[in-house]
């Protein structure tokens, strides 16, 4: 329709549709707000999306209504939204690859609040270029999850690996290792699990590998299951479907003690980007292999 506002060349349908309701002093987030946000952060965000298949987390009626994950690219999507053919348990299918500002805004217009991305790219879908540790607390409070996150970073540093840190925009933190595409998903996840097992053995009262919440107690889950073919993680600057619209945010390690997992929001992240360099800038130039790290890990556990 002619009266539809346009963002990055995409006509936004039902622009006033409320996707995230007002919460405290934070105003509601409309579909137009979401599309405009993704256009504004595209320069910072797209480098972390480019080439990665996307699982779209869509909320047609906002976060108060039903939602669903959509992996297969709908046939009605326009040609400018790239796709890639991937192998799944249901056979071959095409998934969206949101590799530019226009595609990212188009997904927002489809009420995709959060794009979840693969840990591999179209250059080589079978070999990940990211290793992710997801620190997920079981109880309220930040002391435990911050300590757990620090322990992960310290051990990976001992293994000779360069790590990057970000908030999830939810309750925890992600520790990421950029990888060369030399190991399979099975090998990478096996390495990640071995690292997690060492940590749990050292700190059994703080950490767990138990995915079931009713078995964790008050321990922090060291989740390594994202390191599998077709599994996903929330990319930097993605909006989370939560009150206040928090944003997954790259941070420096020295910020861990003062930046909450949900601190930056759709309304405040722009100020951060405007006053400081992205801590993840140039991340791909630090891609590493895991052979030496695995050998060091073996010596620790011998």
Pairing of strands 130-136, 250-251: unpaired
Whether 99 is in a domain gets the answer yes
Integer Cα distance of 250 and 245 in angstroms: 16
Integer Cα distance of 14 and 37 in angstroms: 16
Q: How many folded domains does the chain comprise?
A: 2
**76 and 145 assigned to the same domain:** no
**134 and 20 assigned to the same domain:** no
**291 and 168 assigned to the same domain:** yes
Whether 259 is in a domain gets the answer no
Whether 225 is in a domain gets the answer yes
Which domain range does residue 293 map to?
A: 130-229+285-301
Residue holding tokens 């299951």? 225
Whether 243 is in a domain gets the answer no
**85 and 176 assigned to the same domain:** no
**58 and 180 assigned to the same domain:** no
- pLDDT on residue 2: 54
Q: What is the pTM of this model?
A: 0.96
Whether 235 is in a domain gets the answer no
Sign of the dihedral defined by the CA atoms of residues 185, 187, 190, 191, in that order: negative
**175 and 290 assigned to the same domain:** yes
**165 and 18 assigned to the same domain:** no
Sign of the dihedral defined by the CA atoms of residues 183, 184, 189, 194, in that order: negative
Task: Choose the final residue of a domain: 63, 84, 118.
Answer: 118
Burial (0-12, 13-18, 19+ Cβ within 10 Å), 247:
buried
Whether 153 is in a domain gets the answer yes
**182 and 293 assigned to the same domain:** yes
**92 and 141 assigned to the same domain:** no
Residue holding tokens 């290793």? 131
CATH number reported for the structural domain that contains residue 213 in this entry: 3.90.920.10
Task: Choose the final residue of a domain: 61, 91, 118.
Answer: 118
Contact 258, 146 (CB under 8 A): no
* 274: nearest Cα among 27, 43, 36, 31: 43
**77 and 142 assigned to the same domain:** no
> Residue 232: helix, strand or coil by DSSP?
strand
Task: Choose the final residue of a domain: 118, 140, 169.
Answer: 118
**62 and 161 assigned to the same domain:** no
pLDDT in tens, the chain (302 residues): 457 999 999 999 999 999 999 999 999 999 999 999 999 999 999 999 999 999 999 999 999 999 999 999 999 999 999 999 999 887 899 999 999 999 999 999 999 999 999 999 999 999 999 999 999 999 999 999 999 999 999 999 999 999 999 999 999 999 999 999 999 999 999 999 999 999 999 999 999 999 999 999 999 999 999 999 999 999 999 999 999 999 999 999 999 999 999 999 999 999 999 999 999 999 999 999 999 999 999 998 87
**205 and 148 assigned to the same domain:** yes
């Amino acid at each position: 329709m002619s009266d539809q506002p346009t963002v990055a060349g995409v006509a936004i349908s039902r622009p006033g549709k409320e996707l995230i309701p007002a919460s405290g002093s934070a105003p509601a987030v409309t579909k137009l707000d979401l599309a405009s946000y993704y256009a504004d952060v595209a320069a910072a965000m797209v480098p972390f999306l480019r080439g990665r298949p996307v699982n779209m987390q869509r909320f047609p009626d906002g976060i108060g209504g039903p939602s669903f994950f959509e992996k297969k690219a709908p046939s009605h999507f326009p040609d400018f939204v790239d796709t890639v053919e991937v192998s799944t348990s249901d056979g071959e299918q095409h998934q969206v690859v949101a590799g530019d500002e226009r595609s990212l805004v188009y997904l927002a217009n489809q009420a995709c609040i959060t794009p979840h991305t693969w840990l591999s790219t179209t250059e080589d879908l079978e070999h990940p270029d990211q290793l992710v540790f997801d620190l997920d607390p079981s109880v309220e409070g930040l002391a435990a999850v911050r300590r757990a996150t620090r322990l992960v970073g310290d051990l990976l540093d001992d293994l000779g690996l360069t790590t990057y840190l970000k908030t999830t925009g939810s309750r925890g933190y992600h520790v990421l290792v950029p990888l060369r595409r030399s190991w399979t998903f099975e090998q990478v996840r096996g390495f990640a699990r071995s690292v997690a097992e060492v940590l749990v053995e050292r700190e059994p009262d703080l950490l767990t590998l138990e995915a079931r919440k009713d078995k964790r107690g008050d321990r922090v889950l060291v989740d390594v299951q994202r390191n599998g073919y077709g599994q996903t993680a929330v990319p930097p600057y993605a909006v989370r479907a939560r009150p206040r619209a928090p944003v997954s945010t790259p941070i420096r390690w020295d910020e861990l003690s003062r930046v909450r997992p949900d601190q930056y929001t759709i309304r405040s992240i722009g100020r951060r980007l405007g006053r400081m360099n992205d801590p993840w800038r140039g991340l791909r130039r630090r891609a590493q292999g895991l052979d030496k790290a695995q050998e060091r890990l073996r010596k620790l556990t011998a």
